Amino acid sequence: MQNNKIVVAYSGGLDTSVMVKWLSKKYNAEIITVTGNLGQKSELINLEEKALSTGASKAYIVNLQKEFIEDYAWKALKGGALYEGEYPLATAIGRPLLAKLMVEIAQKEGANMVAHGCTGKGNDQVRFEVGMKTLDPNLEILAPLREWEFKSREEEIEYAKANDIPVSAKLEKLYSIDENIWGIATECGILEDTSQAPPDDAYQMTINPKNAPQESVVIKITFEKGIPTKIDGVEMPGTQLVSTLNDIGGKHGIGRLDIIENRVVGIKSREVYEAPGAMILHEAHRQLEKLTLDKDTFRYKQNASNTYANLIYDGFWFTPLFDSLTAFFDKVQERVTGEVTLELYKGTIKILSRISENSLYSQELATYTEEDAFNHKDAEGFINITSLPHQVITRHTKNKFVVVKS
Ligand code: ARG
């Protein structure tokens, strides 16, 4: 008789395969594996078979791609969420969705424990566990990689052999890779040396911009209330739209990032990302916001975006502040409708045109020709009043910025 039922977040790689057996022995447990399909290409083949032959009693593989794009990626896009100004958060937005899936299946199956295969120094353990604890504080969470006896991949492979666990892992694995439809994250190996440029084999979704076609490509993206709906006038579902942009962008070397980032636990890490679709959409979306949002809203949103990105990175998706900021962004996005035309060329994205029924650009006000409708005289009073507090300071105290030279 088994005492425990554990739902395991499963990828089919070496760690989670070993974990299934290790947990079932250690906790005398029935194991149910759960895999969320977020558009990772390589990892899903024969997964159910693999899980069952490793000792799981049941293997869930759930296609979450639509939900991932519509409820997670679109929020990040509308919120302008780029962590530390750059990283489009592909891995980070996937974790809360997987945490939710784990909790739903644990509750449905009546499991008393959940387990994941994240390491003890990364962000993903935090995101997973903060997410799961927030959604169901009663579940016991296990993180075997933080406590088990194996000190290397070799030892895990030994254990796998001894326990008839089918693993295809090679001893040398060049990189640690996390993949979904919003982007790929790659670290470890030579990438740990920050003085070295990433070798070409660290990339799989994008071509080296140097080798990209000599001919640029022009694409038009239509947004409705901040959500991209069409490419070149053709309406398509979000998942298809993102993967189309991944293909086109990848061919032109778009969306490669090489970043040093601050992890939640305080470590700095070097990560290489590929996110052609996400980077194209962020750029197009930002350009449309510049056309359609008033100055104060645009400026305020920049700060809110930074907070939003930090919340996502740190795993605080299911929280009141995240919800409130989401409502703010949704309100702001009511104006962000229109078309943006971009040119992709050897790793660069250039804006060619932006059009919107909600455009706040007035050529009459902007022009320097005789059509100019701006009253230049108004500027004088404006400058007097906006500088008034500072004039008062100088009248009452010595101005520390002016040094009279004798
Ligand atoms: N640094 C990224 C993040 O925290 C990606 C983490 C997973 N990366 C990996 N290569 N396995 O969101």
The DSSP output letter for 264 is: T
pTM of the model: 0.96
Residue 318 has pLDDT above 70, yes or no: yes
Residue 104 and residue 61: Cα distance in Å, rounded? 13
The reply to whether 51 and 158 lie within a common domain is yes
Domain CATH number, residue 19: 3.40.50.620
Task: Describe the chain by its helix, strand, coil percentages, rounded to 5.
Answer: 45, 20, 35
Residue 97 and residue 40: Cα distance in Å, rounded? 14
Residue 328 and residue 78: Cα distance in Å, rounded? 10
156 in contact with ligand 1, CB cutoff 6 A:
no
The reply to whether 346 and 385 lie within a common domain is no
The reply to whether 153 and 188 lie within a common domain is no
How much is the pLDDT for 227? 98
Residue 43 has pLDDT above 80, yes or no: no
* Mutation to probe ligand 1, out of 15, 38, 84, 91 (largest number of atoms < 8 A from CB): 91
Domains: count for the chain: 3
User: Which residue matches tokens 């998706």?
Assistant: 317
Pairing of strands 268-274, 256-262: antiparallel
The per-residue pLDDT for range 18-36, each reduced to its tens digit, is 999 999 999 999 999 999 9
350 - beta bridge partners?
A: 343
271 in contact with ligand 1, CB cutoff 6 A:
yes
Tokens describing residue 334: 């009511």
User: What DSSP letter does each residue of 318-362 carry, written as one string?
Assistant: SSHHHHHHHHHHHHHHTT--EEEEEEEETTEEEEEEEE-TT----
309 in contact with ligand 1, CB cutoff 6 A:
no
Q: Answer yes or no: is 11 within a domain.
A: yes
* Mutation to probe ligand 1, out of 127, 178, 190 (largest number of atoms < 8 A from CB): 178
The reply to whether 145 and 265 lie within a common domain is no
* Mutation to probe ligand 1, out of 257, 269, 271, 311 (largest number of atoms < 8 A from CB): 271
275 in contact with ligand 1, CB cutoff 6 A:
no
Which ligand 1 atom lies nearest to the CA of residue 175?
10
Could you give the residue numbers annotated as active site?
A: 15, 95, 124, 176
Q: Answer yes or no: is 168 within a domain.
A: no
The reply to whether 198 and 330 lie within a common domain is yes
Q: Which amino acid makes up residue 28?
A: N
Dihedral sign, CA of 172, 174, 175, 178? negative
**CA 274 centroid distance within chain:** 11
Asked whether the beta carbons of 31 and 6 are under 8 A apart, the reply is yes
Residue 400 has pLDDT above 90, yes or no: no
**CA 260 centroid distance within chain:** 16
91 in contact with ligand 1, CB cutoff 6 A:
yes
The reply to whether 114 and 65 lie within a common domain is yes
The per-residue pLDDT for range 157-174, each reduced to its tens digit, is 999 999 999 877 666 678
The reply to whether 186 and 153 lie within a common domain is no
How much is the pLDDT for 170? 67
| Structural domain containing residue 66 | 4-162
